[in-house]
Amino acid sequence: MKAVLEVEHLVTSFPGVGRGKTVRAVNDVSIVLHSGEIVGLVGESGCGKSTLGRSIVGLEKPESGRVIFDGVDLGSLSGNRLRAARRAVQYVFQDPYASLNDRQTVGEAIDEALIIVGVASKAERSARIGQLLDQVGLASAVRDRFTRELSGGQRQRVAIARSLAVEPRVLICDEPVSALDLSIRAQVMNLFLDLRDQLGVACLFIAHDLALVRQAATRVYVMYLGKIVEGGGSDEVYGRPSHPYTQMLLASVPEADPMIERRRKIPLIKGEIPSPTNPPSGCFFRTRCPLAVGECARIEPPTIFLTPTHRIACRFANEIAQKSLTDA
Ligand SMILES: Nc1ncnc2c1ncn2[C@@H]1O[C@H](COP(=O)(O)OP(=O)(O)OP(=O)(O)O)[C@@H](O)[C@H]1O
Ligand SMILES: [Mg+2]
């Protein structure tokens, strides 16, 4: 499969509390998105998921590393070529209330996006608005309604239609359903699956909800304190979690099947997330890790590939994977 988006060794920092302090919100992150795939990005609050997404689309300025779109390093582009590449990667925000203008009708909101991409003819734009509403599963009757009159789910659909107006190849979806009622989350989730199938749009899906990601994503990355600690196929990461942190995250999701629930042998999550301005030496996770040994404080964890696609930043990955096989 062809990579549509590659992120290489990306670092994004903010000034921290205290003089000369910095927060490395994204700390040497490398990830890949292939055309038409949904990839999950999960991790606790504050681990840097949004900053990674925002750095990819240019809402934050990375201090080093590369964002490569369709084989071209965005850092090497400027002017129209950069704008075109930026347009191809769209951000879908968590809050559909903040991302739309209350005083616009649905039609106007989408029309604005079409004007920005230079669809000059009014007739053409009108036809495209109808098509976009259809693509996001909204009836054409909502076109003349004000966005403030819509439900949360409908508003998120309008926001997605606006993003699609520029014909993006990649959507960075930052918790796009977590502000919605439980009952409509699944419907909006299904919309992302449809968009992938119908338009081939790739999607980096940021979420707290591991069950949701498992259902939608074919691959998943787990982030901790600015770093990717585990990445792989969803069946690999969920089926054979091999970083102690991934195991803890999964342990906090209740299992639907009581038989599996009883058999599970995963440590309980312990400890606070360390301050990002002052992360631990060696492995960042060691202060909460039940397996940590002296070496973990001295050297950064190696990256271990359990399969060509399943990578883990922990020296014990092989042992953990072996144990989860014998326990299963
Ligand atoms: N504009 C900013 N200025 C200073 N620090 C920031 C800024 N944005 C984010 N941070 C810090 O960077 C770190 C990562 O934040 P980020 O919002 O990317 O995390 P997140 O994983 O998206 O969290 P959540 O799940 O709560 O949305 C945090 O320590 C946060 O305080
Ligand atoms: Mg966030």
User: Which ligand lies nearest the alpha carbon of 13?
Assistant: 1
Residue 269: the pLDDT is 59
Q: Which of 17, 21, 49, 59 to mutate to test the pocket of ligand 1 (most atoms within 8 A of CB)?
A: 49
Place of tokens 């490398």: 30
CATH of the domain at 200: 3.40.50.300
What's the gap in Å between 167 CA and the centre of ligand 2?
Answer: 25
Q: What residues contact residue 57 under an 8 Å CB cut-off, 6+ apart?
A: 86, 89, 90, 91, 172
Domain boundary among 118, 134, 166: 166
Q: Which of 26, 51, 59 to mutate to test the pocket of ligand 1 (most atoms within 8 A of CB)?
A: 51
Give me the phi and psi of 209, to 5 degrees please.
-85, 100
Q: What is the pLDDT of residues 5-32, one digit of tens each?
A: 999 999 999 998 878 889 999 999 999 9
Q: Which of 14, 29, 177, 229 to mutate to test the pocket of ligand 1 (most atoms within 8 A of CB)?
A: 14
Domain extent for 310: 3-99+167-327
- Quick one: 61 and 11 in the same domain? yes
98 or 289, higher pLDDT? 289
What's the gap in Å between 98 CA and the centre of ligand 1?
Answer: 18
Residue 265: the pLDDT is 43
252 or 118, higher pLDDT? 118
List, chain by chain if needed, residues with CB within 6 Å of any ligand 1 atom: 14, 23, 25, 43, 45-51, 276
Place of tokens 């691959």: 219
- Quick one: 12 and 23 in the same domain? yes
Tokens representing 205 are 């899906």
- Quick one: 279 and 194 in the same domain? yes
Which residue has its alpha carbon closest to ligand 1 atom 6? 14
Residue 183: the pLDDT is 79
Residue 257: the pLDDT is 58
Angle between helices 152-164 and 182-199 (to 10 degrees): 20
CA atoms within 13 Å, Cβ hemisphere of 131: 12
- Quick one: 83 and 149 in the same domain? no
Atom of ligand 1 nearest to the CA of 52: 18
- Quick one: 66 and 201 in the same domain? yes
Residue 212: the pLDDT is 83
- Quick one: 146 and 243 in the same domain? no
Residue 181: the pLDDT is 82
Domain boundary among 144, 166, 188: 166
Comparing 7-16, 64-73, 175-184, 301-310, the range with the smallest average pLDDT is: 175-184
Q: Work out whether strand 227-233 and strand 311-313 pair parallel, antiparallel, or are unpaired.
A: antiparallel
Residue 97: the pLDDT is 76
- Quick one: 202 and 124 in the same domain? no
Domain boundary among 166, 194, 220: 166
Q: What is the pLDDT of residues 190-247, one digit of tens each?
A: 899 999 999 999 999 998 878 888 888 999 999 999 999 999 999 999 999 999 999 9
What residue type is assigned to position 92 of the chain?
A: V
Say how many domains are in the chain.
2
Tokens representing 125 are 């734009």
Determine the Cα–Cα distance for residues 43 and 69; give it in Å rounded to an integer: 25
Q: What is the pLDDT of residues 245-300, one digit of tens each?
A: 999 888 876 655 555 545 544 445 566 778 888 899 999 999 999 999 999 999 99
What's the gap in Å between 48 CA and the centre of ligand 1?
Answer: 5
Comparing 64-68, 74-78, 208-212, 298-302, the range with the smallest average pLDDT is: 208-212
- Quick one: 121 and 171 in the same domain? no
Cβ neighbour number for residue 28 with a 10 Å cutoff: 15
Quote the percentage of the chain above a pLDDT of 90: 68
